[in-house]
Amino acid sequence: MTAKTILILGGILGALSVAIGAFGAHGLEATLTANTRVETFETAVKYQFYHTLALILLGILMLNVQSNYFSYAGISFLIGIVIFSGSLYTLSLTNITWLGAITPIGGLAFIMGWVFMILGISKSL
């Protein structure tokens, strides 16, 4: 992935983080409360936003430093957002509890993203 692609994805995911969070707080409040999943939904939004900021940081870093590890980090963060936050969003809305079993795979992708970022920095600077 290029710095431009990562920065554009960061912008898109940042906007989605705000929109999803606002929609959850207002439009989905009754469903989330009925499913007792308000905190789960908020966790999904927080982790999406944290890793969106990580993508933006990564894209800026890529403008100045070359490393394939940064591409791997970007892919890992993106996979983490889709699996971790996506599974929690779906769990929150449907109350299908087995979805909680795949959430840690997204968490592992987040961790790998940070590890790849560390490797890129340590090998390049």
CA-CA distance, 100 to 63, in Å (whole number)?
A: 36
What is the model's pLDDT at position 99?
85
Q: 118 Cβ partners below 8 Å, 6+ apart?
A: none
Domain that holds residue 88: 3-124
Domain count, the chain: 1
Q: How many other β-carbons are positioned within 10 Å of the β-carbon of residue 80?
A: 25
Quickly state the pLDDT bin for 67 (edges 50, 70, 90): very high
User: Are the C-beta atoms of 71 and 3 separated by less than 8 Å?
Assistant: no
Please report, for residues 88, 94, 107, the alpha-carbon distance to residue 98 in angstroms, rounded to integers and kept in the order given: 11, 11, 16
- Would you say residue 125 has pLDDT above 80? no
Joined tokens for residue 103: 């959430």
Amino acid letter, 7? L
Q: What is the pLDDT of residues 33-63, one digit of tens each?
A: 999 999 999 999 999 999 999 999 999 999 9
CA-closest candidate to residue 21, choices 4, 2, 3, 46? 46
CA-closest candidate to residue 55, choices 75, 41, 69? 75
